[in-house]
Amino acid sequence: MEYGKREMELLQKLNFIRPCGTEEEKRAAQILLEEAQAIGVEARIESFEVDHWTIHKESLVSDGREWEVKGYGLSGSTPEEGITAPFAYVQEATEVDLLDAKGKIVMMNGRIYGEDYAKLVKAGAVGFITFQGNIVDKKEETDLNYMNLFDWNLKAGKIPGVHMRTSDALELVNSKPETVTLTLIQHEGKTSCQNVVADLPGTDPRDQSIVYGAHYDSVPFSHGMYDNGAGSVIIMELLRHFKANPPKRNMRFCWFGGEERGLLGSHAYVKAHEEEMKDISLMINVDVAGPVLGRDVAMCTSEDCLRVATDYMAKEVGFPLKVTQDIYSSDSIPFADKGVPGINFCRFGAQGAANIHNRHDVLEPLDGENLDKTTRFILAFSERMANAVVFPVPHSIPKNIVEKVDKYLKKDDKEKK
């Protein structure tokens, strides 16, 4: 368990909450930078700018009762005294739900996914409420997430929103308030985020390189051990291995920041390195690993031949791996959008055996043995790719994958090439 032992040690060092744009995220980047430098390779921090907000006031009041809420970052501000407007529960934001939403503060099921926010704005809602959790949750055992709107939401316009617990949402709807008062005062600006990048030159690169990726940020409340301290420490061991056993092709190792805020680190990376995209033969991404109870999967964001070859190889070396041709919500997406084929390795927790995006994403459900096994397979796979006589993966993205990537990135038809 040579790799697993060191991986657990580095994971311990990253065992703190490290959200995008915070000092803790910077501290985690520094830890990874120093670890890579200690291996003896050239490594650096690449900074980029991200939207940032500071909430000064967030409240929701109905019939004299104040509810516990979190304001949506980047959703704008209300006047100091808030907005008082009729309340409507619009369920799933269907046309029927939204028929009379104009001028109202609307509450909808769950979080704002897909085009729902744009629908609320278009329907003339003046504020929105979402909710999260389970009606049986105990307040002291759960956290109310920090929420924010994304660029693609804001194309529709800006209306202030708050997020509350499902148990409170049930009470609020049951209380049938005529009006609610929503107050949100925030300062919106910019801050810096960063990727950590390490280079390993190949012995006979022929303008070809392999890029490894793993995001090292976490969401607020989460120590992000499974998602994705685990992937971060796995690619560090790959770096260590290939430093000692130089590959033919160039290798670059990227620890991305800001993934949890919408793949911000990898988007910034492909933008800053656009001219290098044609030389990247494969992007190998690792996002979630290590659970004792779990299963290994690989998702090939590439031509189908990589799926077939990886499946053969897993059988050949005796590694239980389910391989599919698909996209995966992680840092391989911006690369695929630039035509770079990718493969995502993950060890998913069995149902209920590993948590993401909450306070339960801790070290305990993981162990070095499982990190080690996943690492060994990715290593064997990488050896073949890095040292292949002719690079076996076509440098193209098939139509079925392009469509999924475009849908994921919410590209309008007119933006498509």
Where along the sequence are the contacts to Zn ion (CB under 5 A)?
227-228, 287
Q: Name which of 162 and 288 has its Cβ closer to Zn ion.
A: 288
β-pair type (250-256, 179-200): antiparallel
Q: How far is the CB of 130 from Zn ion (least distance, A)?
A: 22
Q: Which residues pair with 344 in a beta bridge?
A: 285, 299
Q: Name which of 227 and 296 has its Cβ closer to Zn ion.
A: 227
Q: How far is the CB of 184 from Zn ion (least distance, A)?
A: 28
Q: How far is the CB of 301 from Zn ion (least distance, A)?
A: 15
Q: How far is the CB of 84 from Zn ion (least distance, A)?
A: 40
Whether 333 contacts 402, CB under 8 Å: no
Nearby residues of 61 by Cβ (< 8 Å), 6 or more positions away: 67, 82, 180, 181, 183
Q: State CA 39 to chain mean position distance.
A: 27
Evaluate the omega torsion of the peptide bond into residue 228 and state whether it is cis, within 30 degrees of 0: yes
Q: Name which of 127 and 265 has its Cβ closer to Zn ion.
A: 265
Q: How far is the CB of 14 from Zn ion (least distance, A)?
A: 13
β-pair type (83-89, 179-200): antiparallel
Q: Name which of 71 and 265 has its Cβ closer to Zn ion.
A: 265
Q: How far is the CB of 330 from Zn ion (least distance, A)?
A: 6
Nearby residues of 291 by Cβ (< 8 Å), 6 or more positions away: 226, 347, 348, 349, 350, 353, 354, 365, 366, 370
Q: Name which of 72 and 256 has its Cβ closer to Zn ion.
A: 256
Q: Name which of 256 and 381 has its Cβ closer to Zn ion.
A: 256
| Exposure on the CB side of residue 412, measured as CA atoms within 13 A | 5
d(CA 178, CA 163): 19
